[in-house]
Amino acid sequence: MEQGLYIAVVSDSQSDAQRVINILRTLGYSAHTYLRISEILSLDHYFALVVCTRYSTASCVLPSDLRHRFSGRLLILSTNWSERAIVQSLQGGADRYLYLAESTNALTARLDAALRKCVPECAADLYRAPFHFSGAERKVRLHERILLLSPMEYRFARYLFERPNRLITDSELLVALWALPARQGGRRIDTAASRIRKKMCLDHRTGWALVKIRNRGFRLNKVAQRTRAGVQESTREAVTKDAVLS
């Protein structure tokens, strides 16, 4: 995450504020908490405002002129899931309305996805030998050969390679990549993962293995290649074959 991406958190509960602060910091943001929205309106270094509230409607929380005084991303996190509260918040200028009582994993993924919408997508190249992710081209190369990945497969693969050796839950993937509810079902994830595993040779031959954790999610593991001799040639052949079949 780029430096200088500051987020202000306003909450009527200290425990809620601390929970959200912890989540935002794990995502790489610089987050600070305030008691009142009015405290941040004179500050110009925050690109997003997160308002946490319990059982309050938007009219109780948001100043009527907030959108005239704050141009950054505005997220409402609330335990009030009534239609009236949601409509009032969104009509009052909120960009997203999220359920505060959701699990930490799901809330983390939702916040990550919501905040990425207002942060320029990373154009930096990512190197994870023998793979090269070109941010500008949105392509992946293996031994200098461009892999035939769809836009979604590219996003999925990059998401995995930015988080190696870590369990990534199905809920996180559904929310972050597909913008679907956390419990929508994982069949589409399994299908996409299977295609990525095949096209990118994530089966030890490249030194990487995409592992399915039953009923939980996936983990991209850095592993020792089974054999050094002929590894590069075998992966070249596999890539060429998959390119023909795709």
pLDDT for res 9? 94
| pTM for this model (two decimals) | 0.51
Say if residue 205's pLDDT is above 70: yes
Q: Tell me the pLDDT of the chain averaged across its residues.
A: 81
pLDDT for res 187? 81
**Residue 228 DSSP SS3:** coil
Domains parsed from the chain with CATH numbers: 6-116 (3.40.50.2300), 137-245 (1.10.10.10)
Higher pLDDT: 99 or 175? It is 99
**Residue 114 DSSP SS3:** helix
Q: What are phi and psi of 194, to 5 degrees?
A: -65, -40
Alpha carbon distance 181, 153 (integer Å): 20
**Residue 223 DSSP SS3:** coil
Say if residue 58's pLDDT is above 70: no
Q: Would you place residue 39 in the very low, low, confident or very high pLDDT band (cuts 50, 70, 90)?
A: confident
Return the percentage of the chain with pLDDT > 90, whole number: 37
Say if residue 66's pLDDT is above 90: no
Which tokens in the block code for residue 115? Answer: 């905040």
DSSP 8-state symbol, 123 = -
Say if residue 44's pLDDT is above 70: no
∠ at Cα 87 (81, 91), nearest 5°? 140
Say if residue 63's pLDDT is above 70: yes
Q: What is the sign, positive or negative, of the torsion defined by CA atoms of 1, 49, 172, 174?
A: negative
**Which of 170, 184, 68, 47 shows the shortest CA–CA distance to 117?**
47
Q: Would you state the torsion angle of the CA atoms of residues 173, 178, 182, 185, taken in this order, to the nearest 10 degrees?
A: -90
Say if residue 179's pLDDT is above 80: no
Are 39 and 11 within 8 A, CB to CB? Answer: no
Which tokens in the block code for residue 87? Answer: 């409509």
Say if residue 86's pLDDT is above 80: yes
